[in-house]
Structure 1
Amino acid sequence: MKSLLWLFISLAWFSSFAQTGTTDSQQSIVDHASTDKHEKVVLLIRSAEFYRVNKDYTKAITSSRESIALAAGINNFTEAAQAYLVLLNSRISAQELGQIKQLSDTLLLTAKKAGTPLAMAYAYYGQALVFKTLDHPESVMEYCQMALTALGKNPAPYIAAKIYYQLYAIHSNWNNGDKAYYYAHLAMEYASNTNDYNLLSNCYNAMSTAHDYSYEMHHEQTALDSSLYYLNKSEQLYTRHPGQVSNYAYAISCINLASYYLRFGTPSGNKAQSQGIYYANRARTVLKDAPNSQEVIASSLGILSEYAKRDGKPADVEHYLLEAYQVMQTQQPPYYYTMINVTKGLANFYENQGNYQRAFQFQQLVNEYSSKSFDQQKALKSQQLEIEYQTEKANNEVRFLKEREKSQQQKNWLYICVTIVSFLFLLFLFRSYHFRLRYSIQRAKQLELEKLDAALQLKLEKEEQARLKAEQQLMELQQQQLKKEVMANVLQLEHKNQVLYNLKDKLIEGNEVNMQKVLKEELILDDDFELAKLQIQQVHADFFPQLNEKAQRKLTLLDLKLCTYLYLQMDTRQIAQLMHVEAKSVRMSRYRIKQKLGLEKDQDLHVFLQSLKENANGTRSAD
């Protein structure tokens, strides 16, 4: 019978969460025309989950479909995803596995259409339920973790509690006590933040089971006390929150309490036994008219038979076991695992009583139910294989599509890269052409500037040469002027020296010298000489060079002086006065100069000297 007891402890692990129980008044609100559509969707989802937990799967499926249609009609895809999750869970609970793969895929598509973290958490949790049905715990864990990741750092308490409860159930089946306690505790914390007391009841039962594991490992009384503590908390929710805990969830808590007192109460402990019998009967009473509750009722009868066996009441043992067998026969389809345990208990009972005929009959039933259970398991396995095949086929199609999409993406990236490279190459060509064009323009401008600069430089050089030539000419004129001034001054000095020599000779000879007369004459001569000096400075620059060039014999300074006076058109008297000589001497000097110049006797010296002036003017005009 121990296996029978543990069967219904496990029922608490695998029963799914229920939201706040629906009532007839809630149904009337749903049916009322003025009720907001969003509120109707919420109430229909609650109703569907309430029916599912109470194993009224037909109503659960109907309410789920209504909520899906209504939520889709108002484009509320997050609540539509939640409704799909309830429908999927209802199909799984009813063992209608043919459509669960299609439902899970539809749930995932609806969640993606919603695009919210909560909707994606519903979808991943639905995938986890499918793989739990297929007995793939690793995949269940993977999708539960994906659901938690989708929820983020601040998950919605209700779905978070459901996810952690599934993780607890996996580690509980693996007998991993530490992990089972860790996830059960997280599930309980999140469930405490909701108004779903069915959910909280299941989490309390999970915490009790986790402490049972701890007790089996360490045999510490504190673990056993904690197990009972959480069972009591689960049972007390039914009375503290009336109408908000389903009868089925409450019956599970009662069965677990009865099992606890049966397992850990001493045979002589009347209080523990009375508590165990009370909770076993309480579970039967609560589920008396509930649909699909045969397993829980049979479990309570099994616990009562164990207590009767302890008390040495074989008649009561037989009565409870036969009643359990009759209850299980009313279940359609029967749950063969429980039927096998009940018939095996009856076979053992009759064998112990020596009634081998009855023991043989029930042993035959054990074999029959074992065979039917095997066939049922084969049929279920066939369904699971079909779902796995569909899942694998869908996954292969998805992988193929992903690979094709990846290949297409790679092609697209290649095309994009080729386009970018081509564009960059064209841009390079354009930039290169533009650069060469700009360089050519800049080069042409630079050449033009260099040309202008060269022209300007040439102009400047010409101007500089002209300036230098002008300066040179000016310097030559200045030099010639200085020469003329020097010549005039030399002539004046020679005249002064001649006067001084004449005075000296007269003084030496003892002749009288009238100084007043000499000074007066000199003053007059000085005035004449100043005029002559100005005239000498006006003689053109080429006069003396041309004169020397024409002369056949070298002209002396005195000859040049006389030619200058003649050129200035001074008469013989003026020249004689300036030179302090006799007029006769002047005429003799003129004759001598004509000879040096190679002039004929009939040629006039004045005319010849003036011709030099005209030649000089002609030369300057040509320059």
Structure 2
Amino acid sequence: MKSSLFKSLFCSFLCLFVSNVFSQSVLTDSLNTAIKKSTTDPKEKSRLLTRLSEVYRLNKDDRMATITGKESVAFALKNENYEEAVKAWTVLTNIYAITQQFSAMKASSDSALIMAREHHQPISMAYAWYGKALLYKALSNADEVVKYCQLALKALGNVDDPYLLSKIYYQLYAVNSGWNNVAKVNLYARKASENAWKAMDYNALSNAYTALSVAYEYNYAASKEKNDLDSILFYLNKAEVLYKQYPGKVADHTYAIGCINMASYYLKYFPESDPSAKKNGIRYANKARAVLKDGLRNQQIIASSLGILSEYARQEGDLVSMERYLLGAYEVMKTEKDPSFYTWINVAQALADMYEKKGAYPKALGFQKLVTEYNSKSFNKEQAMNAQKLEIQYDTEKKNNEMLVLKERESSRRLQSVLYGCVAVALLIGLVFLFRSYHFKLRYSVQLEKQLKLEKQESDMRIMLEKEERARLKAEQRLMETEQQQLKKEVMANVLQIDHKNQMLHHIKTQLNDGDSINMHKILRSESMLDLNFDQAKLQIQQVHPDFFQLLTERAQQKLTPLDLKLCACLHLNMDTRQIAQLMHVEAKSVRMSRYRIKQKLGLSKDDDLNVFIQQLGKNQTGAKAI
């Protein structure tokens, strides 16, 4: 029972698909038949050829669209039907833009504009400007697209051509959609639909309905009102009705895009718990995939439909179906001649995430590597594409400038006849002004010379002031360095004395704690003598030997302790062992042991005299500074 039901549904769908393909084939066949009739008027034949080229383009048959478009141009030129030639060139511009043949696209656009300007027909100029808009759309220059669409509207003036108007307004809608200009998106989408209905261009009308659904999506994002959400589905349903009501008049590709949008809206705006929305979303995703099964250049739409189905499978927790859909999308994208790496990246990333969730880490890693590879290829492709676009844009701007120059030259030629009549008067006036100009130039040169001289003086003064400022800053820097060095010298000179005072106070404290008698007069007299010696030592160290301790540290083979440095300073002051012992409050024997230890650290032999070495160290320093 289930099998027969499946078969009946499959057969009914197949009939629907075949009927649509057949109807589109009938349209192209009828156009070809009318073109081949000997009784067909040449002007009408040119129009039919252009229309046939457009039909081939809508059906993604780029080769036949190009061949027919060129044939239309040649036939129109042969019969001096220049308006139709401009229209055919505009169709070719669109075809070359889609197939990314930028040089051919520019050539077609330029030919249409040149022809239109030569014959001054409003319709021709409007189509030529529209062709320029298509050119700049392919070059991703939105500002220029708007500019040339406005020129096309201005060229039309009061001429009622709803077919062209619908296309112009659709381009303006697309640009403002990219700019998120909600008001203009609504305006131009509505105007595009109104003119497409007048022109009975049902494919353009289907696109306009899709544009209106996008406009209401913008409205819903701002208002969150259910009426706007209902309007999204309302216009997408109208596009579907149009496809069924006028078989062959709406391209399968256009209808499939509407189905993908419908499936996306059900997935995006309806909760997962809504079975009806889920059913409709799956149904429209399958419709998009089925209607393009045997079409040309439809891999992205098919992959998108499989991606939507995989998302529904994910919501249901059916990872097996999700994997099947995503792998199917991946295989579909592999068949694309000029792949869209953006879609490949999305599919590969979804597969990597899915396999990671399933714990199949080798597969997840493999697809993640593919994501990286596709990102790199996408970047390289985009760079190459941008280089071509920039080159074409440069050539286009150059050509536009040349055309502007030619136009100005033509205007100049028309003015020559008038100018010749004024030559005599101009010469007379010129002589008067020549005489005045001579005196003016003379005064100007003198004034300029004075100004240059003043500027030179000002420059010299500025240089001199800058030099003086640098010298002042340098002097201040040296003064600060000198003051800093002096402070360092004073610090080094005070360290020894402070250390001695601390030890002396500690010694007195120890004697007081032990109950020993203290001769304070003797201590004060001794300290006064030592203070006098320290004052002299400080002066000597500051003025003569500021780097004494640094030289000792550099010469030492082992690290000198603060006590070692203190002992060396005392030796440098020519203090004997008794004085040093008294100063440090130690036994003379300890001073001798310290002297022996310092000799070892300085790398001196037994025969070397430590006193002589230290005194010589100070003299060497003094001599170095004197030099």
Give the Cα separation in 2 of the matches to 1:152 and 1:411: 32
For 1:32, the equivalent position in structure 2 comes to: 37
For 1:472, the equivalent position in structure 2 comes to: none
Give the Cα separation in 2 of the matches to 1:288 and 1:405: 56
For 2:482, the equivalent position in structure 1 comes to: none
Give the Cα separation in 2 of the matches to 1:405 and 1:289: 54
TM-score (normalizing by structure 2): 0.62
State which structure, 1 or 2, has the greater radius of gyration over its C-alpha atoms.
1
Give 2:349's aligned amino acid.
Answer: K
Give 1:62's aligned amino acid.
Answer: I
For 1:294, the equivalent position in structure 2 comes to: 299
Q: 2:363 is matched with which residue: 358, 361, 376? A: 358
SS state at 1:34 partner: coil
Against the structure 1 CA distance between its residues 194 and 403, is the aligned structure 2 distance closer, same or farther, given a 3 Å change threshold? closer
Identity among equivalent positions (%) equals 48
For 2:494, the equivalent position in structure 1 comes to: none
Give the Cα separation in 1 of the matches to 2:34 and 2:423: 64
Deviations 1:491-515 (A, max 9, x none): xxxxxxxxxxxxxxxxxxxxxxxxx
SS state at 1:249 partner: helix
Cα distance, 1:244 vs. partner? Answer: 1.3
Q: 1:204 is matched with which residue: 209, 212, 231? A: 209
Deviates more, 1:84-93 or 1:133-142: 133-142
Give the Cα separation in 1 of the matches to 2:406 and 2:117: 18
For 1:385, the equivalent position in structure 2 comes to: 390
For 2:114, the equivalent position in structure 1 comes to: 109
For 1:251, the equivalent position in structure 2 comes to: 256
For 1:156, the equivalent position in structure 2 comes to: 161
Matched, 1:123 2:123: no
Unaligned runs of 5+ in 1: 1-18, 423-623
Give 2:74's aligned amino acid.
Answer: A
Cα distance, 1:416 vs. partner? Answer: 3.0
Contact 1:251–1:282 (CA under 8 A) maintained in structure 2? yes
Matched, 1:276 2:281: yes
Deviations 1:360-402 (A, max 9, x none): 1111111111111111111111110110121132233334445
Give 1:283's aligned amino acid.
Answer: A
For 2:228, the equivalent position in structure 1 comes to: 223
Contact 1:22–1:46 (CA under 8 A) maintained in structure 2? no
What are the residue-to-residue correspondences of 1:528-543 with 2, within 5 Å? none
Against the structure 1 CA distance between its residues 93 and 40, is the aligned structure 2 distance closer, same or farther, given a 3 Å change threshold? same
Give 1:374's aligned amino acid.
Answer: F
Give the Cα separation in 1 of the matches to 2:417 and 2:185: 48
Cα distance, 1:90 vs. partner? Answer: 0.3
Cα distance, 1:421 vs. partner? Answer: 8.8
Cα distance, 1:155 vs. partner? Answer: 2.8
SS state at 1:285 partner: helix
Q: 1:375 is matched with which residue: 367, 377, 380? A: 380
Deviations 1:441-466 (A, max 9, x none): xxxxxxxxxxxxxxxxxxxxxxxxxx
For 1:342, the equivalent position in structure 2 comes to: 347
Deviations 1:396-416 (A, max 9, x none): 333444555566666654323
Give the Cα separation in 2 of the matches to 1:382 and 1:325: 29
Give 1:95's aligned amino acid.
Answer: Q
Q: 2:323 is matched with which residue: 318, 321, 328? A: 318
Give 2:79's aligned amino acid.
Answer: I
Matched, 1:242 2:247: yes
SS state at 1:193 partner: helix
Deviations 1:339-361 (A, max 9, x none): 11111111111111121111111
SS state at 2:27 partner: coil
Matched, 1:194 2:163: no
Deviates more, 1:201-210 or 1:260-269: 260-269
Give the Cα separation in 2 of the matches to 1:40 and 1:49: 14
Contact 2:267–2:278 (CA under 8 A) maintained in structure 1? yes
In the comparison of the two structures, how many residue pairs are matched? 405
Q: 1:52 is matched with which residue: 34, 53, 57? A: 57
Give the Cα separation in 2 of the matches to 1:75 and 1:156: 22
What are the residue-to-residue correspondences of 1:410-559 with 2, within 5 Å? 413-418=418-423
TM-score (normalizing by structure 1): 0.62
Give the Cα separation in 2 of the matches to 1:412 and 1:23: 55
SS state at 1:290 partner: coil
Cα distance, 1:47 vs. partner? Answer: 1.5
What are the residue-to-residue correspondences of 1:95-106 with 2, within 5 Å? 95-106=100-111
SS state at 1:23 partner: helix
Contact 1:21–1:244 (CA under 8 A) maintained in structure 2? no
Cα distance, 1:419 vs. partner? Answer: 6.2
For 2:172, the equivalent position in structure 1 comes to: 167
For 1:140, the equivalent position in structure 2 comes to: 145
Give the Cα separation in 2 of the matches to 1:102 and 1:210: 35
Cα distance, 1:417 vs. partner? Answer: 2.6
Unaligned runs of 5+ in 2: 1-23, 428-627
Contact 1:76–1:114 (CA under 8 A) maintained in structure 2? no
Give 2:89's aligned amino acid.
Answer: Y
SS state at 1:257 partner: helix
